[in-house]
Amino acid sequence: MIGSFSWGHFLYLVQSIWWTLVLSGLAFILGSIGGFGVMLARISPRRWLWMPTLVYIECIQGIPLLILLFIVYFGLSVYGFALPALVAAGLAMMVYTSAYLGDIWRGCVEAMPRPQWEAAECLSLTRWQTLRLVIIPQAFRLSLPPTVGFLVQVIKMTSLASVIGFIELTRAGQIINNSIFQPFLIFSLVGAFYFVLCYPLSRWSESMENKLNVSNR
């Protein structure tokens, strides 16, 4: 029987935002750790280190996140690794995020002027000291706007976790819609909640881009 949208349904959607934020934070934090390692390997002068990393980045960026979710959640279960939906979604999104953040940060590091490296060599700094004391602090400043911009994408990509049964904002909307069948109202609210989550971050990214003078305009 088709019912009507109630205050309880609205609260259920609001509560599901928490799990969207949990999954986003899990994916972004773990993906940042992995992405930093990917960046270091990618800029390494050792071919045996940067070549596999390049292959990793190309492979992950060439595979839809939805397929990664299926591989981790359904594929691993075939071999006895039955993961909870949150763990599977977090793991798949961590891998996906690490490839993109590693590539973003690699570009920021390589954007540093060559004289910066040469000046550090003149001071007899090792490569790691050069990265830690000279290059990465400047690259970090340059990377903030695209990193925050990618965080917006991570929040929106959490909606794909609904396909493996993880109850975040989109899945909560589907559950409510299956019971009362008011798709326009429900998914308009879901879209509005995503907008509330993402719009401030988008504005923050744009503000940093202007303040840090990294805009192309």
**Residue at 146 is within a domain:** yes
**Residue at 2 is within a domain:** no
**Residue at 181 is within a domain:** yes
Supply the angle between the helices 7-42 and 169-180 in degrees, to the nearest 10: 150
Per-residue model confidence as pLDDT tens digits over 4-26 = 888 889 999 999 999 999 999 99
Contact present, 158 and 27 (Cβ < 8 Å)? yes
**Residue at 185 is within a domain:** yes
Looking up residue 173, the CATH number of its domain turns out to be 1.10.3720.10
- Provide the 3-class DSSP secondary structure of residue 81: coil
- The pLDDT assigned to 108 comes to 92
- The pLDDT assigned to 128 comes to 87
Supply the angle between the helices 183-211 and 136-157 in degrees, to the nearest 10: 170
- The pLDDT assigned to 213 comes to 61
- The pLDDT assigned to 2 comes to 60
Per-residue model confidence as pLDDT tens digits over 89-144 = 999 999 999 999 999 999 999 988 888 888 888 888 888 888 888 888 889 888 99
Residue 142 carries which side chain, given as an amino acid letter?
L
Phi, psi angle pair for 39, to nearest 5°? -60, -45
**Residue at 86 is within a domain:** yes
What is the number of domains present in the chain?
1
CB neighbour class for 163 (10 Å; exposed up to 12, middle 13-18, buried from 19): middle
Mean of per-residue pLDDT scores for the chain:
90
Mean pLDDT of 156-166: 93
Per-residue model confidence as pLDDT tens digits over 163-184 = 998 999 999 999 999 988 899 9
- The pLDDT assigned to 217 comes to 43
**Non-local CB neighbours of 200 within 8 Å, separated by 6+ positions:** none
